[in-house]
Amino acid sequence: MSDQLLVLNKDSDTMSVIDADSGETETVVETAFNPHEIEVTPDGEKAYITCSLGGSLLVFDTETWERTAEIEHEEFDFPHGLAIRESAGELWLASTYSSRVYVIDIETDEIVDHIPTHQDKSHMVALTPDEERAFVANIGSENVTAIDCDERRLIADPRVGEEPEGIEVHPEAGLLVANQEDGMLSVLDPETLEQTSRALLGETPIRVVPSPDGRHVLVPNRESNDVSLIDTEHVRDGDRQPWEIARIPVGIWPGGTVFSPDGERAFVANNKTNDVSVIDCEDWTELERYETELHPDGIAYLPR
């Protein structure tokens, strides 16, 4: 069996399971209302999908594509960003309008804790490589919330740019935050929480996705219909500073982005052209596009 792309179609209420090599759709899986984000467990056996307007978290068996659980909570209000904390067997979920982070046991698929951020529109979540801290991008507060994962304790809410959304903790470059309103990348030290640099991106950047080797980062820009290529080892004024070195044209309104595990290709879901751009990661050009259903966004890569 070939590796697969799992692509969420927000306005078809489906997930396209696509052969990652041929681009052919192998099956279409029904979800609940308005699927947005997807996370696959490290063993590849489960896929978690947030259905944001539907207010639920779905669990699927990746062999049969049977829905094995539907997790709900009275305070789920636009559940969105996901991150797996493998060391603790946990899934962390950011609920945008209730401004809370929920912790789910990935063995039992039960909610075991929830943490209010006390901020506005807590939308995406990312973990440090050691999984000791979580960072939540708060779109409406122009900041990120740092959380001690073991203690479930709020540490601080350092300010970043305007309407932060995309977020990732790079093991060497630091905490990277894409600010959609001002089109800037904020770089923070994940320990001190001080801003170390900023870099210009495209128009309305919404995700931060590092390559498997960590050398590059891709940032899809919604309104400029391209992807910023960031060199994480760029040196500026004698200091290491992640910097945009190219823009890759893709489809209209790009969003969810994922690399193949070997780092040779990247895949970008184009919401308004209903397709996925396949990017060659040697020369950073678009190779082809795979068709999807209506308004693709969240995307994951499933090795087989």
DSSP 38-72: EEE-TTSSEEEEEETTTTEEEEEETTT--EEEEE-
Place of tokens 């947005």: 36
- pLDDT score for 1: 84
Percent with pLDDT over 90 in the chain: 98
**Domain covering 32-264 assigned CATH 2.130.10.10 in the classification:** yes
- pLDDT score for 4: 99
Is residue 254 a contact partner of residue 269, using CB atoms and an 8 Å limit?
Answer: yes
Q: How far apart are CA 278 and CA 271, in angstroms?
A: 14
Place of tokens 């507060």: 141
Is residue 98 a contact partner of residue 76, using CB atoms and an 8 Å limit?
Answer: yes
Which residue from 224, 197, 209, 226 is spatially nearest to 301, judged by alpha carbons?
Answer: 209
Residue 236 has pLDDT above 90, yes or no: no
Give the contacts of 108 (CB within 8 A, at least 6 positions apart): none
pTM tops 0.95: yes
The type of residue at 103 is V
Is residue 257 a contact partner of residue 299, using CB atoms and an 8 Å limit?
Answer: yes
Residue intervals of the chain classified under CATH 2.130.10.10 are 32-264
Which residue spans within 161-264 are E strands per DSSP?
A: 164-170, 174-179, 184-188, 195-200, 209-210, 216-221, 226-231, 235-236, 239-240, 243-249, 254-259
- pLDDT score for 72: 97
Indicate the pLDDT class of residue 237, thresholds 50, 70 and 90. Answer: confident
pLDDT tens readout for residues 119-145: 999 999 999 999 999 999 999 999 999
Query: What average pLDDT does the segment 3-30 reach?
Result: 99
Query: What average pLDDT does the segment 269-294 reach?
Result: 99
Give SS3 for 269.
Answer: strand
- pLDDT score for 216: 99
Q: How far apart are CA 195 and CA 135, in angstroms?
A: 14
pLDDT tens readout for residues 59-104: 999 999 999 999 999 999 999 999 999 999 999 999 999 999 999 9
Give SS3 for 11.
Answer: coil
